Amino acid sequence: MGLVLFGLTGGLGSGKSTVAARFRAQGLPVIDADALAREVVAKGTEGLEAVVRAFGPEVLLPDGSLDRARVAAIVFADPEKRRLLNAIVHPRITALTMERAAALEARGERLGCYEAALLVENGIADMFRPLVVVAVPEAVQIARAMARDGATEDEVRARLAAQLPLASKIAVADHVIDNAGDRAATERQADEVLASIRARLGVPAGADRPGSGHGA
């Protein structure tokens, strides 16, 4: 029996990581696209070498790691540079995602979650069905992102402008988690959604945790 990877998405600061943490606590393996995006350009990787070939050594910090703020500023200002960066990073993220998924499958997992901010924007939402979208009103999203990142409202709004509005993601979602309330309310919804996905796919709690025998 193969592995089903379902999608978890939302907007900046909508609560994806919060829901992903709850899924993990319930024993579900989660592949975090954001973490993979860092991994493929980590110090010493061939991905970082490719970025330096394209953008020059000035995108490196003195310790030889990628100056992410510098790169963000460059690609934010220049769509051509953004395409260039994406052409380097995206195929490597895809390859690493497939590698991680294969490893999960090899150890007998039947269900996992792929957490990614831009699943819908990148046109790959249908590869990760059912799709779970974490939603909050925009004002909450902005306030939480500002608090988490120590950013100004303008900075958060500028980053939001590169994403589809949450309403467009809700429109293509199979499950929506409303994260406008407290964490306990969100965790309850996350548990319900996970139970519903497990039931629909016929993967009982615990079956995605080989050797554990217990789930939620």
Residues interacting with ligand ADP, by CB under 6 A? 10, 12-18, 144, 148, 179, 182-183, 186
Residue 43 or 148: the one with the smaller Cβ distance to ligand ADP is 148
CA distance between the termini of the chain: 22
Distance between CA atoms of residues 102 and 113, nearest Å: 13
Nearest distance, CB of residue 140 and ligand ADP, angstroms: 8
Query: In one letter, which amino acid is 158?
Result: A
Q: What are the structure tokens assigned to 163, written together?
A: 């994403």
Residue 140 or 172: the one with the smaller Cβ distance to ligand ADP is 140
Residue 45 or 122: the one with the smaller Cβ distance to ligand ADP is 122
For 195, phi and psi rounded to 5 degrees? -60, -40
**Cβ 116 vs Cβ 125: under 8 Å:** no
Residue 188 or 200: the one with the smaller Cβ distance to ligand ADP is 188
Q: What are the structure tokens assigned to 13, written together?
A: 């600061």
Count the neighbouring beta carbons within 10 Å of the beta carbon of residue 52.
16
Nearest distance, CB of residue 17 and ligand ADP, angstroms: 3
DSSP state of 181: S
Nearest distance, CB of residue 177 and ligand ADP, angstroms: 10
Nearest distance, CB of residue 162 and ligand ADP, angstroms: 14
